[in-house]
């Protein structure tokens, strides 16, 4: 792949580590920048790890210049919706301002390709619950707003001719690498399947379901769950698209169908072979009723074909990781 380098911020975290591994396995030269606040050294395989913050302009500029970075893949972010409601400045400081500093360094160092980790939270409450990339953007929490602000920065820079980007709007990421080498060990994680898998493995005594009075068939929220390996592959395809002089894109990353919270928990119980201890609680602020991707565009433009679109597979890899954690 020559001497060019992909800089992966947040590459020691859950999604970033899966992408880093896929990049390394195909022969890319990768440098990971992560402050290890939620990531793990052990998750970085085959890439150089630099411990530091994306908001450190001097460090970021040095890395880009020293390693001949040609592409930035930006994952580093705070991602907990309830926390963003309680402490919005934390999210604007890291997700928005640090991202601006990072992208500014790209422009200064001639790094013209950016793959950005965004979120379906930019849509907010979405009509019938299914959203396409051109659906209205009305984020209902600071997490979604902080990510949307960075989307706008990238769009404006692309319009100005400063760089090209692929922005990937994630839906609900779940599961772990099927071979068990890397997975999600984020402390105090809040993602549904992660929490349920911990409960199934005995790491948690039980779990909460927030809201049973939503206007859905069983009263719980509906989400589009995507396996982390399929999501990681979308990033590799996005890199190829940009290297082939492809135009800037914004793409949904989901399977195009949803499961309710209770449907997911029943699958966890089925795979684990034991019931979960479930405590029912009131709705959390900032949670939309239903959020499912219209994912036609990513399939058409990147040729993305999911290989793990099966709730049982997603749940099984998540539980296997919790029962056999490496870190």
The per-residue DSSP string of 26-55 comes to TT--EEEEE--SS--GGG--SSEEEE--TT
- The ranges of the chain with pLDDT < 70 are 1-2
Query: Residue 261: what pLDDT?
Result: 98
Query: Residue 82: what pLDDT?
Result: 87
Pairing, β 5-9 against β 222-223 = unpaired
Residues 6+ apart with CB under 8 A from 255: 171, 224, 225, 226, 293, 295, 306, 309
Q: Which of 14, 143, 214, 255 is catalytic?
A: 143
Q: Which two tokens stand for residue 276?
A: 């979960």
Query: Residue 287: what pLDDT?
Result: 82
Summarised one tens digit per residue, pLDDT across range 18-61 is 999 999 999 999 999 999 999 999 999 999 999 999 999 999 99
Residue with tokens 């396995």: 25
For domain 5-174+225-253, the CATH superfamily is NAD(P)-binding Rossmann-like Domain (3.40.50.720)
Query: Residue 128: what pLDDT?
Result: 79
Query: Residue 286: what pLDDT?
Result: 73
Does the annotation mark 143 as catalytic?
Answer: yes
Query: Residue 285: what pLDDT?
Result: 80
The CATH number of 192-223+256-323, from 3.40.50.720, 3.90.1150.150, 3.40.50.10950, 3.90.25.10, is 3.90.25.10
| Domain spans, the chain | 5-174+225-253, 192-223+256-323
Query: Residue 284: what pLDDT?
Result: 85
Return d(Cα 23, Cα 26) in angstroms, integer. 5
Query: Residue 2: what pLDDT?
Result: 46
Return d(Cα 148, Cα 165) in angstroms, integer. 14
């Amino acid at each position: 792949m020559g001497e060019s380098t992909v800089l992966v911020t947040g590459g020691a975290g859950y999604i970033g580590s899966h992408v880093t591994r896929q990049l390394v396995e195909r022969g890319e030269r990768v440098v990971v920048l992560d402050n290890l606040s939620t990531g793990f050294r052990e998750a970085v395989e085959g890439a150089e790890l630099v411990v530091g913050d994306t908001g450190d302009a001097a460090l970021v500029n040095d890395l880009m210049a020293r390693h001949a970075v040609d592409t930035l893949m930006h994952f580093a972010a705070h991602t907990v919706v309830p926390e963003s409601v309680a402490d919005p400045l934390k999210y604007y400081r890291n997700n928005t301002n640090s991202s601006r500093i990072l992208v500014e360094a790209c422009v200064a160092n001639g790094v013209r390709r950016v793959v950005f980790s965004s979120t379906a939270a930019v849509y907010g409450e979405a009509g019938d619950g299914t959203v396409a990339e051109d659906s209205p953007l009305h984020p209902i929490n600071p997490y979604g707003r902080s990510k949307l602000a960075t989307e706008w920065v990238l769009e404006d820079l692309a319009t100005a001719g400063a760089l090209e980007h692929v922005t990937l709007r994630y839906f609900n990421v779940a599961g772990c690498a099927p071979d068990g080498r890397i997975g999600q060990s984020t402390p105090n994680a809040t993602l549904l399947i992660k929490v349920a898998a911990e409960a199934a493995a005995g790491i948690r005594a039980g779990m909460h379901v927030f809201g049973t009075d939503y206007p859905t068939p069983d009263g719980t929220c509906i989400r589009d769950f995507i396996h982390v390996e399929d999501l990681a592959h979308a990033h590799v395809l996005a890199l190829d698209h940009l290297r082939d002089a492809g135009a800037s894109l914004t793409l949904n990353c989901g399977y195009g169908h949803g499961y309710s919270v209770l449907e997911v928990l029943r699958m966890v119980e089925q795979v684990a072979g034991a019931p979960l201890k479930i405590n029912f609680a009131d709705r959390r602020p900032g949670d939309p009723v239903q959020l499912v991707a219209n994912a036609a565009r990513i399939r058409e433009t990147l040729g993305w074909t999911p290989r793990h679109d099966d709730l049982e597979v997603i749940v099984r890899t998540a539980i296997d990781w919790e029962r056999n954690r490496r870190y």
